[in-house]
Chains A and B, each alone.
Chain A
Amino acid sequence: MTERTPLVELRDIRVAFGGVHAVDGVTVDLFPGEVVALVGGNGAGKSTLIKTLSGAHPADSGEIFVDGNPVTITSPIDAKRLGIETIYQTLALADNIDAPGNVFLGRELRTRFGSLDDSAMEAATRKVMARLNPKFRNFKAAVRSLSGGQRQSVAIGRAVHFNARILIMDEPTAALGPAETAQVGGLIRQLKEEGLGIFLISHDIHDVFDLSDRISVMLTGKLVGTVNKEEVTKDDVLGMIIMGKLPGQISKSELEELHT
C-alpha cells in the first residue's frame, strides 16, 4: 500500500481554539477506493481535523497533499475544486428549499438566458437519487418536510453529483434510524467500489468495522494511531479510543476494566 500515492494526505495538522489544542499534530492519509474511519470520543478533534480538509476551518499549520501534490485549502471553494466534498455532522441544508435547490446550492444550473434551469436541476437530481435512494420522491417539497434519511441522501447526492473523488462524512448516520443507517452503509460501499476515497467519522464501532479498511483513532487532539481493520479486534480499538493505547500495549487488567 505504501508504494502507491495516497489520494490525500494530511501531515502534522494543528488547529487551536484559544488555548485548546483541538487538533495537535495529526497525520492521516487515504487511498482511492478506501474507507478510513476516524474515531475517538466526543471532543477528540475529529470534526476539526476534517474541517481543515473541507475548507470549513483552515489549519493553523501542517500540510495537505492531494495526489502527492501540496495544496492550499482555505475555503470550501478550494476543497470543491480539488474534488473534496463533505457531508457535515449537522446537515448543511437550506430547509425551505427543495432537494434540487439544495443539491445545486451555490452551483445552480443556468439556462442560455442566465435564469435558473430548474428542470435541468431536477432532472439531474432525479438521476443521482435514482442511484442513491430509489424510493426518494419529494423533488418539489422543501427539505424541511423530509425524513432524516431523505435529507441525508440529498446531502450525499450533492457530493455524488459533483463527482467527488474524496468524500468526507462526519457522522452521516447520527440522526438516522436503523433502516436508513443500513442504506447509507450500502451507499458508502457503492461509492468505495467506484474508487472514491472516504473519510468516515462514526461513533458506532460496528459500523466502523463493517465499512472501513483502516481506522485512525484520535484522543484529545492527538492521533493515537492508525490500524488495519483486519489486524485488530473491537476491543483493541476501544482501548485506543478510551485509554489511548495501541493494541499490545494494553494490559489484561486494563482490558477487563474496558468491559465493566
Chain B
Amino acid sequence: MTDALLGPEPTGRPTWGMWVSDHPQLVLGSVLVLLVVVTGIIEPRYLTFSGLRNTVLLAAPLGIMAGAQTILMLTGGIDLSVGMIATAAAYVAANQSPSGAAIAITAGLLVGVAAGTVNGIGVGLFRVNPLIMTLAMSAILLGLFTALSFTVLQGSTTVGRLISTLGGGSFLGNRIPYNALVWGGVSLLVIYGLRRTGLGRLLYAVGDNPTAVRLAGVRLWQVHLAAYAIAGLLAALAGILLAGRTGAVDLQLGVNFVLPSVAAAVIGGTSIFGGIGTYSGTIFGALILGVLATMMTFLDAGQAIQQIVYGSILLGLAWLYARVTSSS
C-alpha cells in the first residue's frame, strides 16, 4: 500500500516522474550518497567513521522529531510545538536527573505525552486547526517554561551522565552513536505501526478521506488524540537526546528543529495534505538534512546561508513532488 503512494501514471511512454514515483527510496538514497560524496570532496576527512558518525549524531534527534511530524502530516495535521515539547521534556528530565536516569527520562516523556494529548484534544474534539492549536501550545509552553526556569526549574540545566551518553556518546570504538541506536528502535516501531497496525491504517485513511473514515464508524477524535499523543512522546524523546548531546538545557534547545522536522518529512515524500508518505522516506530526509548541515559547517556557511539553502531545497522539492503527483 505504502510504496505506490504517488499514484499511477497514465499508460504510455515511461517518464522520469514515473520512475521517481515508483522508486522514491532509491532516488532519496542516491541524493544522500551524492551529498555524502560532495561533502567528502569538500572535506576528505568527512569520509571516515567519525565524520559520518557526526552526521548521524546530528540527524537522530531530528529524525525522531520528524517521525512525530510524519505521523501527523499523514492525518493532514502538523505539529509546530515539537520544538517546545522537546525543550520542555529536556527541562523536566534535567530537573529529575538527580533521581536517576530512569525517572528523569520517564518524567520527560510524560511531559511530551501530556502536551501532545492536549494538542490531540484541541484538534480532535474541539476541531481547532492543527497549525493554530500547536502554535498556541508552543507559545504556552514557552511562557510556562520561561517562568519555571526562574523558579522551580532554576539550575535544571544539565542532564545526568546516562542521558549524556545516550544523547552524545558512541560505542564500538567511538563509531556508532547511542542515539542512532535509539533512533533505529524508534524507526522500527514507527514503520511497523504505520504499516501493520489498525491505528496506522487509520492515520493514512484520515488524511485521505476523513468523511469516509467517519462514515465507516470510526471516532475520528480518537485517531487524532492517539496521533498527537504519540507525536508528543517522540518530540519529548528527541528533546531528551538533544539535551544529552548538547550537555546543557536552555529555552532555545528545540526551536531550530521545527522547520527541519517538517522539511525532513517533505523531502522524504510525505504530503502535507495527508494520506501519503512513509517513515522510511522521512529517515532519508533527516539524513539528507544532516549531511547538508555538515557540509555547511565545512563550507563555513553562516546560519543565514543555511536557511536560504534549506528554503530553496524545500521549494525545489515541493515543485518536484507537485509535478510527479499531478501528472497522474
Contact = CB atoms under 8 A, between A and B. Distances in A.
Interface string A174-194: 000000000000000000000
A115 B197 contact: yes
A56 interface: yes
Nearest to B4: A142
Contacts of B200: 116
B213 A98 contact: no
Contacts of A116: 195-198, 200-201
A137 B15 CA distance: 26
A18 interface: no
Interface stretch (B214-222, B292-300, B309-317): B214-222
Contacts of B4: 141-142
Interface residues of A, number: 30
Interface stretch (A8-16, A20-28, A100-108, A231-239): A100-108
A114 B217 contact: no
A163 interface: no
Interface in B177-209: 192, 195-198, 200-202, 204-205, 208-209
A95 interface: yes
Nearest to A90: B211
A86 interface: yes
A97 interface: yes
B176 interface: no
A114 B204 contact: no
Nearest to A100: B1
Given A98-B1, A101-B201, A108-B201, A80 B217 contact: yes
Interface in A18-61: 54, 56
Contacts of B198: 108, 110, 116
A98 B195 CA distance: 13
B28 interface: no
A97 B276 contact: no
Contacts of A228: none
A149 interface: no
A94 B205 CA distance: 6
Interface residues of B, number: 28
Question: Chain A: interface secondary structure?
Answer: loop
B289 to A, nearest CB: 26
Interface in B254-277: 275-276
Contacts of B318: none
B212 interface: yes
B7 interface: yes
Contact of A76 (B8, B202, B215, B276): B215
A76 B275 CA distance: 22
A97 B201 contact: yes
A105 B275 contact: no
A70 to B, nearest CB: 21
B215 A145 contact: no
B5 interface: yes
Contacts of A142: 1, 4-5, 7-8
Contacts of A144: 7-8
A131 to B, nearest CB: 21
Interface in A68-127: 75-77, 80, 86, 88, 92-98, 101-102, 105-108, 110, 114-116
Contacts of B196: 115-116
A96 B212 contact: no
A76 B217 contact: yes
Contacts of A140: 1
Interface string B1-34: 1001101100000000000000000000000000
20 contacts: A56-B215, A76-B214, A80-B217, A86-B215, A92-B215, A93-B212, A94-B204, A94-B208, A94-B275, A97-B204, A105-B218, A106-B202, A106-B216, A106-B218, A107-B217, A108-B198, A114-B197, A115-B196, A116-B200, A142-B1
Interface of B: 1, 4-5, 7-8, 192, 195-198, 200-202, 204-205, 208-209, 211-219, 275-276
Interface of A: 54, 56, 75-77, 80, 86, 88, 92-98, 101-102, 105-108, 110, 114-116, 140-142, 144-145
